[in-house]
Amino acid sequence: MPKSSSFLAPFSPKPLVKASRLRLGAFEARGVAAILCGAASIVLAAGVAGAMRRSAAPLPETLREAREFWLALRGPRPELANRARP
């Protein structure tokens, strides 16, 4: 039976897998695990970018409301009230 010739036939993934290494602090991945972690991080970054793009319009209002909520929880600050008076 004749071999099917393909343009990918000379490509061997062995050196790529052997050279793949990912190190983040105490976490270390090698080989296929490093490649999968890299691909997963790209997919995660794309998801975060998509979520930020969808929520970009209401973001300033949300931040303003969060600031007002924080000020309401914290209460008045007397040291700032004393500075305002001459």
**Could you tell me the pLDDT band of residue 64, with boundaries at 50, 70 and 90?**
very high
- Per-residue CA distances from 1 to 4, 7, 23 (Å): 9, 19, 45
pLDDT, mean over the chain: 80
Q: How confident is the model at residue 2 (pLDDT cuts 50, 70, 90)?
A: low
What value does the mean pLDDT take over residues 29-52?
91
49/53 Cα distance (integer angstroms): 6
Q: Quick check: 85 pLDDT over 60? A: no
pLDDT (0 to 100) of residue 57: 85
- Number of Cα atoms under 13 Å in the Cβ half of residue 46: 6
